[in-house]
Structure 1
Amino acid sequence: MSSSTLIKRVVLVGATGAVGAPVLQTLVDQHFDVTVFTRASSNHSFPSNVHVANVNYEDVASMTKALQGQDALISTIGFGGATLQKHLLDAAIAAGVKRFLPSEFGCDTHNPRVAAIPLFRTKLDIDEYMDEKVKGTGTTYTCVYTNAFLDWGLVNNGLLLDLPGKKIQMIDGGETPFTANSLDFIAKGTVAVLKHPDETANRAVRLNGAVVTLNQVLQYAKKYAGAEGWEVDEVTTEALEHEGMKNFKARPEDLSGYMMQFIKLAIYGSEFGGNFDGNNDNALLGLKKMSDGEVEQLVRSMVK
């Protein structure tokens, strides 16, 4: 790592979200100088060793001022705020920030089947914008791909399964292997990018915390939450794609009608590149893939 790319001072956007909170904790634990961007209306509190800057995400000039002297900007904002990232990037470039990490943290949009899904058009727009805007500047970017969220996906929206409600949508028989990452693994991988700025400049990195199947996850869930009373809905990726496209064409403004279908299609579809075995950056980033036993214990820890 050259002295010109050394990253010490980091701004985090979205620090209270599912990804942002563990990223913030990891940055603090690893002794980065951290500033959190928040809206003026925010009432969230942060540790005393974290700086807080109130910003207007529509005002590039004010964000440029707030980014002076910073080395990296990590965005973990939610899907609804994705377009604001163009303003963040513009401000980062104007302020001379060395590294920008957009809010990817999901399916690999470099895969052509994923890229063709309408839901991911916003992310592709941002990727194309980054490619063009960083040319000839001192700013570089890294996209972090994670595929499925493991622990979060057990209890939120039934992304993997609905552990509290004992429900699962079993896709293509549940035997397709796919990558899933715990939020802690995602945070450690994201922060590790900052320690390898030269090797990760202007490209995607893929985190491969675990490779599992839905049947495997369901087996662990039944073992610790009880085998009785599970509702299993068998569905194919073809059906998910058909339903998602139908709802998207009917009401493209209504994300609730197709978001989950498209996300599951990209995560579980065998042609969508959701298994990062053989195509990941664990070794570069100093990360170790979880064993089946560790995945089982994580599922056990999520049973209430």
Structure 2
Amino acid sequence: MVKIAVAGGSGQVGQEVIDTLVASEKHEIVILSRDKAVVGDGASGVTWRAVDYDNKSQLIEALQGIHTVLFFIQLMADPENTAQKNLIDAAIVAGVKRFAPSEWGRQVASTIGMPWWSGKDKIKEYLEKVNENGKVLEYTLFQPGLFLEYLAAPYKTVKHLEPLNTMIDFQNRRAIVVDGYDAIMTFTTVKDLTTVVVLAVDLAGEWPVVEGIRGNRVLVSEVLKIGEKVRGRTFAIEKVKLADLEKGILTASWTLEASHPSVKGDQVEKMLKTVLIGTLLSSAKGAWDVSDEMNQLLPDFKFTQIEDFLTEVWDGKP
């Protein structure tokens, strides 16, 4: 049993991970929160603690006795990475052994074509720098690819993760692809991710810097074949040019509809277009072909297979 601190535990992925940690009944969990209103004891083995991420002394105190820190605060809530950098600094002083930065939102091997996630690379560089003269903090980048649950949109299939639609729209039997590219995509269910995180906490030895989690590694064309099989009809495919995407031009007749709750007001429409362009562009350039470090460390773990998941979700749906 170890003591785990979760920063940003009120977020969607954070809550999914906390639920799985609690269900394992192995560890003591401390949820760090900016919001004093939510502070209080919750499930057995879980404690909430209010913190000020601008106060390093307070963070050091909060991390006393902590073995592992899992960071889930969204970039839009920490645009300069101030909270995450301060927590990293505090973790080093407090003697924390392991730190998992906010890779969960990135989910890919590279941020190429996705400027809204550039802050992830800055944190990676920061962690490299603090260890440049000798390791002072063990860390890993959990990278699961795209959540498979998003292909179930608009249906919610887990407790906390809200459905977001993608360039492959199962509900309306349509897709947008990059002309001339059959991209490799990695899809992992959030349930599998949370289980792997719990197993990773229990692993002896040092975490690898990158912990790629490859639930399913498939071509876009394969996803479309599965889609047509489980949806019982041919998908309408629109093709866009890579050169247009690189100029920020989207020629498709439709775009994304559901945005992340961290995006507000008049920024929603712009962000939806940016994310769709970025996802298409990055897929063509190989950013969603995630490595398989965790698969190798957990050879007996059985990941949810894409066709099984989608068949169950879409069975009987109009």
Shorter-chain TM-score tier: 0.7 to 0.9
Question: Quick check: 1:17–1:76 contact (8 Å CA) kept in 2?
Answer: yes
The alpha-carbon deviation at position 26 of structure 1 amounts to: 2.1
Q: Quick one: which amino acid aligns to residue 89 of structure 1?
A: I
Q: Quick one: which amino acid aligns to residue 149 of structure 1?
A: F
Match of 1:263 among 279, 283, 296: 279
What secondary structure does 2:65 align onto?
Answer: coil
The alpha-carbon deviation at position 209 of structure 1 amounts to: 0.6
Taking every aligned residue pair, what percent have the same amino acid on both sides?
24
Say yes or no: does 1:301 pair with 2:307. no
The alpha-carbon deviation at position 302 of structure 1 amounts to: 2.8
User: Take 1:127 and 1:167, find their aligned partners in 2: how far apart are those partners?
Assistant: 36
Distance 1:47 1:258, change over 3 A: same
User: Take 1:241 and 1:280, find their aligned partners in 2: how far apart are those partners?
Assistant: 31
The alpha-carbon deviation at position 123 of structure 1 amounts to: 1.2
The alpha-carbon deviation at position 33 of structure 1 amounts to: 1.3
Equivalent in the alignment of 1:207: 213
Distance 1:256 1:87, change over 3 A: farther
Equivalent in the alignment of 1:121: 118
Equivalent in the alignment of 1:35: 30
Question: Quick check: 1:100–1:140 contact (8 Å CA) kept in 2?
Answer: yes
Question: Quick check: 1:119–1:262 contact (8 Å CA) kept in 2?
Answer: no
Equivalent in the alignment of 1:132: 129
Say yes or no: does 1:175 pair with 2:173. no
Q: Quick one: which amino acid aligns to residue 288 of structure 2?
A: G
Alignment map for 1:12-161 (pairs within 5 Å): 12-30=6-24, 31-41=26-36, 43=38, 46-82=42-78, 83=81, 84-105=83-104, 106-109=107-110, 114=111, 118-134=115-131, 135-136=133-134, 138-155=136-153, 156-161=163-168
What secondary structure does 2:12 align onto?
Answer: coil
Equivalent in the alignment of 1:3: none
Match of 1:284 among 292, 297, 308: 297
- How many residue pairs were aligned? 280
Q: Quick one: which amino acid aligns to residue 243 of structure 1?
A: G
The alpha-carbon deviation at position 52 of structure 1 amounts to: 1.1
User: Take 2:164 and 2:128, find their aligned partners in 1: how far apart are those partners?
Assistant: 33
Distance 1:44 1:222, change over 3 A: farther
Question: Quick check: 1:159–1:264 contact (8 Å CA) kept in 2?
Answer: no
CA RMSD of aligned residues (A): 3.1
User: Take 2:12 and 2:230, find their aligned partners in 1: how far apart are those partners?
Assistant: 24
Equivalent in the alignment of 2:200: 193
Equivalent in the alignment of 1:234: 239
User: Take 2:249 and 2:120, find their aligned partners in 1: how far apart are those partners?
Assistant: 18
Equivalent in the alignment of 1:4: none
Q: Quick one: which amino acid aligns to residue 300 of structure 1?
A: T
Unaligned runs of 5+ in 2: 154-162, 251-266
User: Take 2:174 and 2:34, find their aligned partners in 1: how far apart are those partners?
Assistant: 37
Distance 1:17 1:244, change over 3 A: farther
Q: Quick one: which amino acid aligns to residue 163 of structure 1?
A: F
The alpha-carbon deviation at position 9 of structure 1 amounts to: 0.9
User: Take 2:39 and 2:300, find their aligned partners in 1: how far apart are those partners?
Assistant: 31
Equivalent in the alignment of 2:229: 223
What secondary structure does 2:286 align onto?
Answer: coil
The alpha-carbon deviation at position 244 of structure 1 amounts to: 7.0
Unaligned runs of 5+ in 1: 1-6, 246-250
Question: Quick check: 1:86–1:126 contact (8 Å CA) kept in 2?
Answer: yes
User: Take 2:151 and 2:57, find their aligned partners in 1: how far apart are those partners?
Assistant: 38
The alpha-carbon deviation at position 227 of structure 1 amounts to: 1.8
User: Take 1:148 and 1:115, find their aligned partners in 2: how far apart are those partners?
Assistant: 15
User: Take 1:132 and 1:236, find their aligned partners in 2: how far apart are those partners?
Assistant: 38
